[in-house]
Structure 1
Amino acid sequence: MNKNLLLKIKESLTSVLPITVIVLILHMTISPIPKGTLALFLVGTVFLIIGMGLFTLGADLAMMPMGELVGAGIAKSKKLIFMVIVSLIFGIIITVAEPDLQVLARQVPSVPDPIIIWSVAIGVGVFLVIALLRIVFQLRLSYLLLIFYIGLFIIAAFTSVDFLSVAFDSGGVTTGPITVPFIMALGLGISTVRGDKASHDDSFGLVALCSVGPILAVLLMALFYNPTSGTYEALSKIEVHSIKELFHLFIEEIPHYMKEVAIALSPIVGFFGLFQVFSLKLNHRKIAKIIIGVLYTYMGLVIFLTGVNLGFLPVGKYLGSKIASLPYNQILIPLGMVMGFFIVTAEPAVHVLTKQVENITGGSISRKSILASLSIGIAISVGLAMLRVLTGISIWYMILPGYGIALILTFFVPKIFTAIAFDSGGVASGPMTATFLLPFAMGACEQLGGNVLSDAFGIVAMVAMTPLVTIQILGLVYNIKNRISSDEVVLLPNESEEIIDFEEDN
């Protein structure tokens, strides 16, 4: 076996093992799981480990290099109108192909699926343009975030609470494991060509701004649609009663995810192919390496998504429902916090983010510190989400102070920590959240007789929000320590002062 692949699989085993142990402990203590559901979970865990290993290796070999090369190619053209058109089209097509968006669209009542999908896609496309222009013109991310989130909350004040939860959830699901590595690398490619000493700080923040577009799109739709005119689509129950049925289910579903991942990956691969033909003209050896990386990415995501959807989704919903029926169901809060703390390490895109942070900062911001901050943030968010499920408290009381604190912190921490924090919100709310934590919350909410749309939905939004605070607090601590040890804080080595001079095309 390839040594790099073996290393990646070992890393994914370390990431997935804690949440697996937690589920097995719950099975042996307060919430015995039916044999068929447990068997699905165990097989799904194996799929998860192998799939994540393949995906992270593929991201290293293909997704990140492709994004950097395309970003550098766009920047070197020095044509502003070219960047705007290309990034707008790219943002739209990759979002339309995002599998998690299809799932979200089916859950929004009274809004036709194509309308929500294309509205969200346009929102992502527009904000990808804004994110890239921010790098070119060196606009401060904190100012943009403050302006956009104030605008969001003003619109949200006139929005139904049902749409509010779904709107903020949409910001997380549209930045999935397929698009995040490419988008992050796209920013790195453009900032590298810019080349000044602040360029590496500005290479982060694309995911942060791309997460704003979907929220704004759904909030604007809420002004024209009545959420009470429909109902959410309940999760279908997955059951098996024998080993034969179990393997038949996995074999039957794999072609579905093969098609889904192929559709999602094809815009990125096609986009890169056009740049290769007309601009990059890489040699055959480099192209062969990228092709192998794409295959690793494809196989990894097919195996990963099969595992989480067939193995983790039914267990999540069952455990949520079963624990909520206990006389001491308040245990949902601490239990949710423990699961949230460990589950973030099983998100594929989180590993891509932490590795890029460590590489770009030369190790001055370590993977361990980012992962620890993320884990604490997700633990808090899931605990708050379980509190909402138990009490029915409005999501307003969570997101308004949460984003308020996050936006205030942007003026007191190093710029790179602000960008990493807001990127991490979109990265952390990936398929593990959508297929384990959300079903867990929905199962609990249904058992308690609550409103699933307003009380269970919103957990993705909570997962996307709390890292904004915890990682910026890490940046605040980091800055204080550096000021104590030195009069001047230097996060990154100085770079040359070359700036891109873009032409305005009429």
Structure 2
Amino acid sequence: MKQNRTILSEKLKESLSSVLPVTGIVFLLCFSISPVPNSLLMGFVLGALLLILGMGLFTLGTDLAMTPIGSHVGSAVTKSRRVWLIILVSLLVGIFITMSEPDLQVLAEQVPGIPNMVLIVAVAIGVGVFLVVAMLRMLLRVKLSHLLIGIYVFVFLLARFVPQEFLSVAFDSGGVTTGPMTVPFIMALGLGVTAIRSDSNAENDSFGLVALCSVGPILAVLLLGIVYGAGTGEYVPVVIPELTDSRELSQLFLSSLPKYIEEVALALCPILVFFLLFQIAALRLKKGELIKIGVGLGYTYVGLVLFLTGVNVGFMPVGNYIGQIIGGMAQNWIIVPIGVVIGYFIVAAEPAVHVLNRQVLTITAGAIPQKALSTSLSIGVAISVGLAMLRIVTGLPIMYLLVPGYLIAGILTFFSPPLFTAIAFDSGGVASGPMTATFLLPLAMGTCSGVGGNVVVDAFGVVAMVAMTPLITIQLLGVYYKYKSRGAGEAEEPAEDPVVLNDDDIITF
């Protein structure tokens, strides 16, 4: 327990350093160009405190429970050598975990013309099917880049037949559904599968599951768009609470807690049930390991409840309000550089990003420094948010940005080392998590409302942009890594003969 407290202290310091920059930017905006009511600002402060505490507990719980569970289940399923069992378990895990993802509920409320449950089930099946594809890819050793290029070519061909109202939401769904519950489990599942392989590329193949699982929701919503035709629903605006005193503020947070307590419980139940079934049937872990996992699940549960309460109750209204103020200004173009700055820092506050960073650090034995990966990811998200805000101000169709972006990402797969390509496409899914869905998306919606645009067509798409640009920036890091290795006369593949990038080697802007 003492060790857990020490680790928790480190996790809290890590989450504090992640959240403070975003908090500082919002304070700067609130005290300058976009003043907000005192009640909203106090709600934001309280939300930030919950965010810091929740992220610290969540990341600790992931280390103690989510990663071991996924790794044990992945190893047990693969060791059975039964393809039908691998397919069945992957499909069920993908469906049930996705259906319980909190951000998917938020997305379903905003999609016009499709019943919520129809959308949720379709997206969940999409994730389940592509988790099966991802597992089979690792076992059959299919090259990830070729598979991704083929799938995205089909996605963009299909998009030509889909009503405009569904395009932005479809590509947003790919990022939203790979959230804080799904990502740790799926990534650990990949580690468990590759652990029984002895070839030199096994560890590289542990990446790429999130990338493939992000495609399923996109295809599901595109197909629903074709079936249902043009949407008839309307955008549901974010409710800006009107509070008169601190008691009402505390009541607002306390009244929201039961909702997230229930949501997170539903999210954890499928994982717990699957683990218990495998524990009885195959794993038979010792009592000490089970206690450790149980404690970890407790940390994960409490942390995610606090995190979601903080971002939904404290961050979402402020983001929307600031967006409305700036969007209504004569110089509303200023939202573009503001979006760039917010995007650069906000990605560090995504829980799943920390999970990816730790896995990269572990798999590559430090050959890819965390600072290099984090900097590339931040640059990518900064560019994406800036472009998303530019799209809102100008009314630029989203496909004008997504098609060239994915085309560049596809071309880079031929020049970037396979490990970097897999990490890059995984990064797109993990970067677009609850912070993006509950702060950047409301900011975009508020800005679009202020500008007078179509919220469903123009504001949606910010998550899709956040999921796209890391594919380019991290692969560019891989190209730099590759040619630096070649120049040093060493192997090009870091997993086989790693060349360590020092802080001096990191490209900064």
TM-score, structure 1 as length reference: 0.96
Deviation (angstroms), 1:277: 0.8
Q: Which amino acid aligns with 1:271?
A: F
1:183 aligns with 2:186: yes
The equivalent residue for 2:210 is 207
The answer for the alignment partner of 1:302 in structure 2 is 305
- Write the letter of the residue equivalent to 2:21: P
Closer, same or farther in 2 for the Cα pair 1:385/1:490, shift >3 Å? Answer: closer
Match of 2:506 in 1: none
The reply on whether 1:394 has 2:401 as its aligned counterpart is no
- 1:73 — aligned with what? 76
After superposition, the C-alpha distances for 1:69-104 in whole angstroms (9 at most, x for unaligned) are 111111101111110011111111111111111111
Corresponding residue to 2:116 among 93, 96, 113: 113
CA RMSD of aligned residues (A): 1.0
**Worse-superposed segment, 282-291 or 22-31:** 22-31
Alpha-carbon distance between aligned partners in 2 of 1:176 and 1:227, rounded to the nearest angstrom: 28
d(CA) in 2 for partners of 1:338 and 1:142?
A: 31
Residue 334 of structure 1 aligns to which amino acid in structure 2? P
Deviation of the 1:160 alpha carbon:
1.4
Q: Provide Cα deviations, 1:100-123, integer angstroms capped at 9, x if missing partner.
A: 111111111111111111111111
Distance 2:365 2:231 in 1: 52
Partner Cα separation in structure 2 for residue 3 and residue 96 of structure 1? 34
Code of the residue aligned with 1:280 in structure 2: it is: L
Counterpart for residue 93 of structure 1: 96
Q: 241-250 or 205-214: which moved more?
A: 241-250
Q: 2:386 — aligned with what?
A: 383
Matched with 1:403 is 406
Counterpart amino acid of 1:445? C
Q: How does 1:32-431 map to 2 (within 5 A)?
A: 32-431=35-434
Distance between the aligned counterparts of 1:102 and 1:121, measured in 2?
A: 12
In the alignment, structure 1 segments of 5+ residues that lack a partner are 495-506
How far did residue 229 of structure 1 move? 1.9
Q: Alignment partner of 1:229: what SS?
A: coil
**Are the equivalent residues in 1 in contact too, given 2:482–2:493 (CA < 8 A)?**
no
Structure 2 CA distance for aligned equivalents of residues 467 and 320 of structure 1 = 24
- Cα distance in 1 for partners of 2:446, 2:94 equals 34
- C-alpha contact 1:171 1:215 (8 A) present in aligned 2: yes
Offset at residue 190 of structure 1 (A): 0.3
**Does structure 2 retain, via aligned residues, the 8 Å contact 1:238–1:310?**
no
1:472 counterpart = 2:492 = no
Aligned residues: 494
- Give, in angstroms, the shift of residue 238 of structure 1: 2.4
Question: Which secondary structure does the structure 2 equivalent of 1:491 belong to?
Answer: coil
Q: Show CA shifts across 1:305-325 (max 9, x none).
A: 000001100110011111112
- Report the Cα distance in structure 2 between the residues aligned to 1:111 and 1:489, rounded to whole angstroms: 48
User: Which deviates more from structure 2 when the two are superposed, residues 90-99 or residues 432-441?
Assistant: 90-99
Q: Distance in 2 between matches of 1:204 and 1:240?
A: 46
Counterpart-to-counterpart distance in 2, 1:15 and 1:103: 24
CA contact (8 A) 1:188 1:203 kept: yes
One-letter amino acid matched to 1:8:
K
Match of 2:500 in 1: none
Shift of 1:195: 2.3
Answer yes or no: is the 8 Å Cα contact 2:58–2:301 preserved in 1: yes
Matching residue's letter, 1:331: I
2 CA distance for matches of 1:424 and 1:326? Answer: 34
1:375 maps to amino acid: S
Map 1:417-456 onto structure 2 (within 5 A).
417-456=420-459
Amino acid at match of 1:56: T
Check whether the contact 2:240–2:321 (CA below 8 A) recurs between aligned residues.
no
Q: 1:500 — aligned with what?
A: none
Could you tell me how far 1:236 is from its partner in structure 2? Answer: 2.1
The residue aligned with 1:485 is 488
SS in structure 2 opposite 1:369?
helix
After superposition, the C-alpha distances for 1:148-205 in whole angstroms (9 at most, x for unaligned) are 0000001001111210100000001110101100100100110111121100110000
Match for 1:363: what amino acid? Answer: G
The equivalent residue for 1:27 is: 30
Letter in structure 2 aligned against 1:122: I
Give ranges in structure 2 of 5+ residues lacking alignment: 498-509
Q: Percent identity?
A: 57
Q: Which amino acid aligns with 1:247?
A: S
Instruction: Work out whether residues 442 and 456 of structure 1, in 8 Å CA contact, stay in contact via their aligned partners in 2.
Output: yes
Distance between the aligned counterparts of 2:194 and 2:244, measured in 1?
54
1:238 alignment partner AA: P
Structure-2 residue corresponding to 1:497: none
Within 1, Cα distance between the matches of 2:337 and 2:360? 30
For residues 388 and 147 of structure 1, the distance between their equivalents in structure 2, rounded to whole angstroms, comes to 27
Moved over 6 A (4+): none
Displacement, 1:490? 4.1
The DSSP-based 3-state class of the residue aligned with 1:256 is helix
